[in-house]
Amino acid sequence: MRGAEEADAALYCDLYGDPGTMRFVGPPLSRERAQRRFRQVLASLGRRPVERVLLVIVEKATRQSIGIGAFQDFDTRRRRVEAGMMLRSEARGRGFGSEGLRGLVDFAFATFEVDEVWIQHAPDNMEARRVPVRLGLSHNTDGESGKLTWSARRHSWPADRSVSGLNRNAIDAKRN
């Protein structure tokens, strides 16, 4: 994974404009709207306190961008942050979801002052449901939104993992 940059606009627009990718998220965005949204997100990355972090998931073998990962909804009082990711259709079902989420959780605990990383997904998204189960995340009481929520907690997350190939220095440089 690496920090997002202007050159990643096409990836962002492809993901948010793809009906298959968006089927459990919401209506797909038009190319123009996705481009506007990407510029807004990119502009927000340098704000203090940190509001969101946008990462690009890169396949190690090919060095191709296969998805995006993000952190948002930083809750400093409760020391938690929401993580999420979207993968290109050709990257799904190949283990990148588990590897990507593991990388996001590792990154959050290594970088932010949080004790919990949580995710949410639509209850009928069976692909998304398998990932947190596989990684041992705890299922939370489902929220008012009707989505399933899962958490990784710092005290029970394996501490001996590396930061899963993330280029933290490059990401930190973008945030400063």
* pLDDT tens by residue, 12-22: 999 999 999 99
Model confidence pTM above 0.95: no
pLDDT digits (tens, 9 = 90+) for 68-89: 999 999 999 999 999 999 999 9
**Confidence tier at 161 by pLDDT (50, 70, 90):** low
pLDDT recorded at residue 170:
40
More confident residue, 85 or 144: 85
Question: How many domains, in total, are found in the chain?
Answer: 1
CATH code of residue 102: 3.40.630.30
- For tokens 């089927």, what's the residue? 23
Phi, psi of 79 (to 5 degrees): 55, 55
Stretch (H or E) spanning 109: helix 96-111
Q: Is the dihedral of CA 115, 95, 63, 25 positive or negative?
A: negative
d(CA 15, CA 126): 19
Question: Up-side HSE of residue 171: CA atoms within 13 Å toward CB?
Answer: 25
Q: Which domain holds residue 67?
A: 2-175
CA–CA distance, 176 with 12 (Å, rounded to integer)? 22
Q: Is the dihedral of CA 115, 109, 174, 5 positive or negative?
A: negative
Which pLDDT belongs to residue 160? 54
pLDDT band at 126 (very low <50, low <70, confident <90, very high): confident
Q: What phi, psi does 14 have (nearest 5°)?
A: -60, -45
Confidence at residue 176, expressed as pLDDT on a 0 to 100 scale = 40
Which pLDDT score, from 0 to 100, does residue 173 have? 39
Which residues have C-beta within 8 Å of that of residue 115, sequence separation ≥ 6? 79, 80, 153, 154, 155
The pLDDT value recorded for residue 167 is 45
**DSSP secondary-structure letter at 2?**
E
